[in-house]
Each structure stands twice: as C-alpha cells, then as structure tokens.
Structure 1
C-alpha cells in the first residue's frame, strides 16, 4: 500500500522550534503526542495508518527528536502542554483531535484543561496515573537513562534487547537510531513530573469527548485507577487492549486500532 507520509517540518511555536511529521493531509486533523523517550519518527508506523483517514501530525516533544533542546529549556508539564496549543495554532488548525501516549497523554490532559478550546476529541493512551501521594510509576528511571547513554555512545541495537525483550529487530533498530536524541534533562524532568504533577485535578475540567485506552498488561493503569478516573470524569469512554503492554501498538497493533472504534469519526 502506498505510504501516507507527506513531509517533515519545523515551526516556531510557544517560543521554541518544534519538529513534526505529517501524514495523510485530508480529513479531521489529528495530533499524535508520543511518550517520554519516543521521538516522532518511532510513531511513524501508527501515523501511516492514521494518514489513510486523517490529516495526521506527529510531534517531537521538546527535548526529543529534532525539536529544540537545551540546558536552560523548561521541560515541565505546563510548558509541554502549552507547546501543543502553540503548535496547533501556528499550523492554523481550526479544530483537531489529540492522541497522546503515556507522557503525551498527560500533556494532552493538561492542555485540554487549561490551554486550548479548539480541541474536539481527546484520546489518552495508557497515561501514568502516578502523582503526589500516589503509587510510583512502574517503570524505573534507570530503564530510560541507561538505554539513552548506551545509544549516545553508539551501541548496537542489540544493546536495547534487554530493555525491550519482546520487540522485533526492526523496532529495536529504529529505537536505537533515535534514542540518542532524547535529552537526558528532559527525561529527568518528565519522569519526576510523573510523581510531582497531579493530573487528576485536571480530569473534571475536560470538556471534550475523551477516550481512555488501557493496556491489559502494562501495570500502569489498574482497575481501581479506571474507577477513579470514571468518578472524576463520568463521561469518559474506556477501551482495553488486554494482550498489550504499555507500548500498546508495538505489542498489539491491530488491537490498538480497534480500541478507537469510531471515536475519531471513522474506524482505523
């Protein structure tokens, strides 16, 4: 099947250079915001599918991929949430849906609650539910930092296999190619933010249709977490991908697409 990839580009928004990849170019605008150590290109296979039906943009979160990074840059949740609002405004998107994975879902929650009124739909893919006084995020910080440092030294993709033993060679090769672009300061700030920022206070403020996609084997969102989220945001829709870990489309790609149903206007 012909690729839906159109081009990569940069835009100056919220005071920084933001890099993105565009797919499809028709239909509803959808912005994909990846997780803590996932540059935009690593979500290209998902964006290819989205691009069949939607005008799809995959964002390099600040400090990752080809977006701006520096030792003085603010990597806080608020800054990253404001980036999304600034990015969509700079591109002239009059309305859009947001699909955020993990950290990207937390950015989407904060953005939707405080920064943007042009958002039409919000999809939260297995967001960390850690925060002040809550159980810690299950992935340990060295899992991220050690793998980044290995790739910065030029280690082969096989060095990543102990970190992600179920991934294919192709998946590991792509991650190994781009992981070195993740600024360690950004990762530290985001990881600590998982435990210091309270996204639960934002959930009642969500005013758009919202879908929560839960990984059945991720141990990130437990049944009691779903119950609390439903209590805070009774209108939220919930879908489960029972066979997948936290990196849902890597573990069960078709199950990931099925979880959307027609939430974005048409099935994937």
Structure 2
C-alpha cells in the first residue's frame, strides 16, 4: 500500500453505507470519482495527488465494492446511479462533475439522464456507449465461488493489455479489490450493467462532456467511442495513443491534466 488514506463512511438514503475519501478546498468545484466494476475508490490513489487543491474531489466506493455494504440485491444500473445521487445528498453536494472510469462512466451517464440537475459536467474515461449483451468473460464470472481466488483476480486483470509501467503496489491493491467482492456481487453487477438500457438511448445528456479513450483498447473500439460522442451534444473526444483500456492505471498524469483543464473551463 502506497497511501495512508482513511476513508469515511456515510449511510445513504438508499439504505446502503458506503466509504469515501475527500480532498481539496471545500468551496472548490465539486468532482465525484466513480470506479469501475471490480475495483474501489483506491483505483484513484495515483490520480488524487496530482489534482490541484482548488478542486474539491470526492471518491466513493460503490455498493458491493471496496468497504461499502455488499447487499444481496440492488445492482441494476439505475440502482448504482441512485446511490450516486443519494451519496451527493449525504455529503452535501447539490451538483458535481462526475468522472467515471470504464463502467463507472456508464453509471455516470445514467446519473446525468436520471438526475440532470445534479451533474455539472461529465468526464467519461473508457466508458461504453452500450454494454448490452454477454461479454466473453461472463462464463468465468458465472463460475466464481466464495472465497474469491486471488489467482483468478490477478489473471482477470490480464484481460486488459497494458502499455505503460504500473507500480506493483497499485496492481496488488486492485487484486485486493477483486478478492474483497463476493461472487454474487461480481455476477449481479455484471448482469445489471449488461441488461441495462444504454443511458443515451433513454434520453439526451445535456451536461458538458469530455470523453477519454485509449487508442489500443481492445474492449471498446473507436467506433463505439465516436457513437458515444455523437450521442452527447457538444461532447469532446480525446484519444490517448499507445494506451489501452486501463487509461486510469496507465496515464494518471495526463488524465489529471485533462480533468483539471476541463473543470477549470466550466467556471471560466
């Protein structure tokens, strides 16, 4: 572990207790960070130190992940989005820029559709336009049993090729994230994501939006990202070359710069 963060806990109006960390000037622009399926707020440990104190950043564990409650049910995309709005209520944020990594960006899109006044901006990092269907690795997930095998989690991270050096401690922390999730949560979150109606098919996102995509991503292809950008009026797509699906893991410095520029541009 290369950090000493001590998350706080808050009980949401949806009945779930989640953990979170916050930093920066409380009067600054609020930014809420949403991690991917199978991860935790710890995935932002390399990004957070790179953000200026003028931004009020809050990273939360989503239900079933990290140190959050792990109920038996409540893992639809709408459930996860409702938790984000309830979390903002609990920590006193009327609106915020939502930054979602991978499936966290799918959740962010749903919040922007369901609670548009709560979202002052969106940064979608390797976020899908649609997750409909059954991914190739779903069979592996269906076979999971408790306790989760650490070797399986480590192997599952190889689904996504890496093109930059990533510290060993960071990868090990992500393995810890996966081991901490019960098998039924692994399955139910994936099912909830893959059976949801894509948010951009149910309404129009009106929040200013930045889309970040790695050109060597084998999971989300450029056509997917261009369709996502086309579905969000006025959005901007930035391509990170020599980067795969794990943009947050591989390019925290560049992502911090682009996020900071985007947030500062909203108040300019």
TM-score normalised by the chain length of structure 1: 0.82
The 1:70/1:115 distance shift into structure 2, 3 A limit, reads same
Q: CA offsets, 1:197-223, max 9 Å, x none?
A: 122535752121011111211223323
CA distance in 1, matches of 2:10, 2:226: 39
Give the aligned partner of residue 109 of structure 1: 109
Q: Cα gap change, 1:161/1:235 in structure 2, threshold over 3 Å: closer, same or farther?
A: same
Mapped contact 1:22–1:55 kept (Cα < 8 A): yes
**Partner residue, 1:62:** 63
Contact persistence 1:37–1:144 (CA under 8 A): no
Does the Cα contact within 8 Å between 1:21 and 1:41 map onto a contact in 2?
no
1:189 to 2:200 alignment: no
Selected match of 2:137 from 123, 140, 158: 140
Residues 213 and 259 of structure 1 are in contact (CA less than 8 Å); yes or no, is this contact kept in structure 2? no
Q: CA deviation at 1:124?
A: 0.9
SS of corresponding position for 2:47: helix
TM-score w.r.t. the length of structure 2 is 0.82
Contact 2:128–2:225 (CA<8 Å) still a contact in 1?
Answer: no
Q: Distance in 1 between matches of 2:196 and 2:209?
A: 20
Structure 2 CA distance, aligned partners of 1:52 and 1:184? 38
Segment of structure 1 superposing worse, 58-67 or 8-17: 8-17
Q: Does the aligned pair in 2 maintain the 1:129–1:220 contact within 8 Å?
A: no
- State the Cα deviation string for residues 104-147 of structure 1 (Å, max 9, x = none): 11111111101341221111111133344x7x55x62356678x
In structure 1, how many angstroms separate the alpha carbons of the residues matched to 2:86 and 2:52? 22
The secondary structure found in structure 2 opposite 1:238 is strand
Once the two structures are overlaid, the 10-residue window that deviates more, 194-203 or 37-46, is 194-203
Equivalent in the alignment of 2:233: 234
Contact 2:23 2:58 in 1 (8 A): yes
Q: 1:52 to 1:149 in 2, by over 3 A?
A: farther
The alignment of Structure 1 onto Structure 2 pairs a total of residues equal to 257
Q: Shift of residue 65 of structure 1?
A: 0.8
Moved more, 182-191 or 28-37: 182-191
**Tell me, what secondary structure is at the counterpart of 2:123?**
strand
How far 1:174 sits from its partner (Å)?
1.4
Per-residue Cα deviation, 1:200-257 (whole angstroms, up to 9, x for no partner): 5357521210111112112233232233223322311111112211111212222323
Q: Which has the higher contact order (CA 8 A, sep 6+)?
A: 2
Q: In the alignment, which residue of structure 1 is the partner of 2:176?
A: 177
Q: Is the 8 A contact 2:10 2:18 kept in 1?
A: yes
Deviates more, 1:85-94 or 1:50-59: 50-59
Report the Cα distance in structure 2 between the residues aligned to 1:234 and 1:220, rounded to whole angstroms: 24
1:18 aligns with 2:18: yes
Q: CA RMSD in A?
A: 3.0
**CA positional deviation for 1:82:** 0.3
Question: What corresponds to 1:160 in structure 2?
Answer: 154
Q: Which runs of 5+ in 2 are unaligned?
A: none
The residue matched to 1:262 in structure 2 has which SS? helix
The 1:46/1:18 distance shift into structure 2, 3 A limit, reads: same
Q: Which residue of 2 aligns with 1:86?
A: 86
